[in-house]
Amino acid sequence: MLKLQGIAVSPGVTIGEALVLDAEGFRIPRRFVERSAVDTELARLAHAVAETAREMEHNRDRIHAELGEQYAAIFDAHLAMLHDPRLQQELTAAVRDRNWWPEYAVSRTLRRYAKVFQSLDNHISQRAHDIYDIEKSLLRNLLGQRRETLAAISQPVIVLAHNLTPSETANLDRRFVKGFATELGGPGSHTAIVAEGLEIPAVVGIGPFLADVSGGEPVILDGNEGLVILQPDEETIARYRLEEEAARSVAARLGRLRDLPAETTDGVRIQIMGNIEFPSEVEQCIDRGCDGIGLYRTEFLYLTSKREPTEEDHFEAYSFVARAMNGKPVVIRTLDLGADKMLTEKTPEEERNPCLGLRSIRLSLRQLPMFRTQLRAILRASALGDVRVMFPLVSTIVELRQARMVLADVMEDLAEHGIAFNRKMPVGMMVETPAAALMLDAFIKEVDFVSVGTNDLIQYTLAVDRGNKEVAELYNACDPAVLRLLRRSLDVAAGAGVPANVCGQMSGSVMFTQLLLGMGLRQLSVPASAIPEVKQACRSVSVADCRLIAEKALTMDGAREVKAYLRDQVRRLLAETVA
Ligand code: PEP
Ligand code: MG
């Protein structure tokens, strides 16, 4: 049994069969060969070895001609490894004696070799990459056109991958993917956010582990503790089965809160809104008794489609959500592409710092036809319910004014053509840059509401990439700098009488409920899966107590201290609720 620690990004536990996707997305199931087919499969393996050798020789000759002997020697070394009699003998034995499918034999055997290199604590460990290269070449030649992709999953699996992009994650088939774990990835990445939206357990940032596992093996994914357990023993499997069962009964208990209001013990009504990435998630929010949709991340319309969405595509999605919410508010955020939410086809050129580059509202203001198309659809949907529009990543007042001007212009266009929309559609902005938080007293005069995006606010305040596991420790909602900007934003909004929301992941964690209510927040927007727990937390506290907790937390000067204090407070609260 092998227990691996990563970063827990989407809760829940699950047990299932591994589907391993390496950096190239190969999918190698543990498959066996019929005895009668052993010779054919051995011939296929031999053919793949010969093809791979041919490719290596070709590469060697080309590099030799262009760069000389020294560089060509790399391929000689690869060839020597490929033809190593011991390796060949092991591969043949795996197919002949164990009846392993050649792909599985190649993957298992070479990964074992690579692992030995990886375990060496010196420059030789780099040779593991060479072995992975050989593995990939062999697999490419074995699989040929049969290379399967994520799209072809047709049975329940736990995806174990080097990395998953937000769009790959958004395209996972929820009927079959029970959860996923990745070697890369940080706590605030959009891959993590989509996993929460899909309501599947997920663990990211584990570091190299794919060499230790093969497709088809049983694995346990613990999205609560951030653990992946390979080759689990019977006892551990039994323990996790009980945990799965317990989670189901907690969910059933929390389900009873659906129609109860999120009202504190001293009678303050809190609005709990849902965050969605796809229109279908609206049902999950309604099922949990949300008060509206506080954040609809529309960029996923682009990320799940092969072409740019038309006005009708937008309208279909927005009108579905507006109708489903039946008069409750729906905050549609305009396109927030860029940074880790990339459309490869659309990136005009490589950006050195995509998080600081042409993303979000900056991109929309640069690509006006695309922006106008989206705004037309949002406005048309505003005739069907309480639809509101929100601009992401605003960092200067000029951006906000420009965005409002484009909106006004689109309104005129619609009016001219007699198309129905709500002329008074509320317009809001996200507060997710320190600039926006610091200048909010100016911005606030020009918006109808604000929503604090703590995911980005943390990233930009602390100068720490939300998707990078190497700095995951620094990505911390408890940091006093973040708390001060948050409090300042909520104070400015309250002073101006403008409604404020917090829609970053922070508001979905009950550890922060008391702090946020104590800072004056009366509206939270959280992933659907977090609605019941957050509602229960709101119903168990008094605003008066929350104020004391917030005041105390804001006097602390370190994230660790704040975290320990908030943990303690939430533990106490849970103990009282149970008692
Ligand atoms: C945020 O930054 O907190 C936010 C809600 O937006 P996103 O996570 O989509 O960047
Ligand atoms: Mg954001």
Verify whether ligand 1 is closer than 6 Å to residue 466 (CB atom). no
pLDDT of residue 172: 85
Query: How many A from CA of 533 to the centre of ligand 2?
Result: 23
Ligand 1 site, residue 432, Cβ cutoff 6 A: yes
Q: Single out the residue in 143, 170, 193 at which a domain terminates.
A: 143
* Residue 151 alpha carbon to ligand 2 centre in Å: 28
- The residues that are catalytic are 190, 503
Report the b/e string of 14-31 with b at 16+ CB within 10 A.
bbbbbbbbbeeebbbbbe
Residue 216, both tokens: 């088809």
**Which residues make Cβ contacts (< 8 Å) with residue 119, sequence separation at least 6?**
125
Q: What is the largest CA-CA distance in the chain?
A: 80
Helices 102-118 and 85-96 cross at an angle (nearest 10°) of 140
Q: Give the ligand with the smallest distance to the CA of 504.
A: 1
Q: Establish if 87 belongs to a structural domain.
A: yes
Indicate whether 357 belongs to any domain.
yes
How close is the Cα of 432 to the center of ligand 2, in Å? 6
Give the pLDDT of residue 22: 67
- Ligand 1 site-directed mutation target among 196, 335, 430, most atoms within 8 Å of CB: 430
Residues 244 and 292 grouped into a single domain? no
For residue 459, the ligand 1 atom closest to its alpha carbon is 2
Ligand 1 centre to CA of 522 (Å) is 19
pLDDT of residue 64: 81
Q: 351 with 446, same domain? A: yes
| pLDDT given at position 510 | 96
DSSP strand pairing (523-527 vs 218-222): unpaired
Positive or negative, the CA dihedral 528, 533, 537, 538 is: positive
Whose alpha carbon is nearest atom 9 of ligand 1?
297
The per-residue pLDDT for 345 is: 44
Give the span between the Cα atoms of 294 and 525, in whole angstroms: 5
Give yes or no for a contact between 466 and 456, defined as CB atoms under 8 angstroms apart: yes
pLDDT, position 343: 62
456 lines ligand 1 (CB under 6 A): yes
Shared domain for 20 and 101, answered yes or no, is no
For residue 392, the ligand 1 atom closest to its alpha carbon is: 6
Contact between 403 and 361 under an 8 Å Cβ cutoff? The reply is: yes
Q: Give the amino acid at 220.
A: I
User: DSSP labels for 244-280?
Assistant: HHHHHHHHHHHHTTTTS--B-TTS-B-EEEEEESSTT
Cβ burial of 520 (10 Å; 0-12, 13-18, 19+) is middle
Q: What is the DSSP letter of 339?
A: T
Q: Among 123, 143, 163, where does a domain finish?
A: 143
Residues 373 and 477 in one domain: yes
Domain span holding position 132: 35-143
Which ligand is nearest to the Cα of residue 189, counting in written order? 1
> How far is Cα 463 from Cα 457, in angstroms, rounded to an integer?
10
Per DSSP, helices labelled H in 144-213 are 166-170, 190-198
DSSP label of 358: S
Whether residue 431 is contained in a domain is answered as: yes
Question: Of 72, 47, 77, which is closest to residue 59 (Cα–Cα)?
Answer: 72
Query: Which amino acid is it at 119?
Result: S
CATH number of 418's domain: 3.20.20.60
Q: If we measure between CA atoms, which residue out of 472, 474, 476, 18 comes closest to residue 206?
A: 472
Give the residue, by CA position, lying nearest to ligand 1 atom 3: 453
Residues 453 and 545 in one domain: yes
> Quick check: CB of 336 below 6 Å from ligand 1?
yes
> Quick one: 512 and 383 in the same domain?
yes
Same domain, 135 and 189: no
501 lines ligand 1 (CB under 6 A): no
Co-location of 224 and 82 in the same domain: no
Do 110 and 225 sit in the same domain of this protein?
no
In a domain, 67, yes or no: yes
Q: Does residue 148 fall inside a structural domain?
A: no
Stretches where the chain sits below pLDDT 70 are 22-27, 29, 144-151, 342-350, 577-579
- Torsion over CA of 445, 450, 454 and 458, rounded to 10 degrees? -10
212 lines ligand 1 (CB under 6 A): no
Q: Give residue 450 CA to ligand 1 midpoint distance, Å.
A: 13
| 343, containing H or E segment | none
- Indicate if 198 and 122 belong to the same structural domain: no
Q: How many domains does the chain have?
A: 3
Contact in structure between 130 and 81 (CB atoms under 8 Å): yes
Q: Which ligand is nearest to the CA of 508?
A: 1
Q: Measure Cα distances from 557 to 286, 471, 514, 553, 563 in Å.
A: 39, 20, 19, 9, 11
Asked if residue 255 is part of any domain, the answer here is no
pLDDT, position 147: 37
What's the 429 CA to ligand 1 centre distance in angstroms?
12
Give, for ligand 1, the residue of 169, 455, 501 to mutate: max count of ligand atoms closer than 8 Å to Cβ.
Answer: 455
How far apart CA 559 and CA 333 sit, in angstroms, is 30
- How close are the terminal C-alpha atoms of the chain, in Å? 38
Q: Is residue 501 part of a domain?
A: yes
Is 454 a pocket residue for ligand 1 (Cβ < 6 Å)?
yes
Structure letter (DSSP) for residue 100? B
Q: Which residues, listed in sequence order, are joined to residue 17 by a DSSP beta bridge? A: 218
Q: Which residue in this structure is represented by tokens 């099922």?
A: 287
- The three-state secondary structure class of 431 is strand
CA dist 365 and 362 (Å) reads: 5
Q: How far is the CA of 441 from the centre of ligand 1 (A)?
A: 21
pLDDT at 349: 57
Residue identifier of the C-alpha nearest atom 6 of ligand 1: 453
Looking at ligand 1, which atom is closest to the CA of residue 295? 5
User: How many angstroms is it from 302 CA to the middle of ligand 2?
Assistant: 16
- Cβ–ligand 1 contact at 503 (below 6 Å): yes
CATH of the domain at 72: 1.10.274.10
- Same domain, residue pair 316 and 416: yes
Query: Is residue 277 domain-shared with residue 334, that is, in the same domain?
Result: yes
Quickly count: other Cβ atoms within 10 Å of residue 503's Cβ.
Answer: 28
pLDDT digits (tens, 9 = 90+) for 234-251: 999 999 999 999 888 888
Q: Which of 169, 277, 336, 461 to mutate to test the pocket of ligand 1 (most atoms within 8 A of CB)?
A: 336
Q: Quote the pLDDT of residue 304.
A: 80
Domain assignment of residue 486, yes or no: yes
* Ligand 1 neighbourhood includes 455 CB (under 6 angstroms): yes
CATH number reported for the structural domain that contains residue 185 in this entry: 3.50.30.10
- Answer yes or no: pTM beyond 0.95: no
Ligand 1 atom with the shortest distance to the CA of 339: 10
Report the DSSP beta bridge partners of residue 341: 338
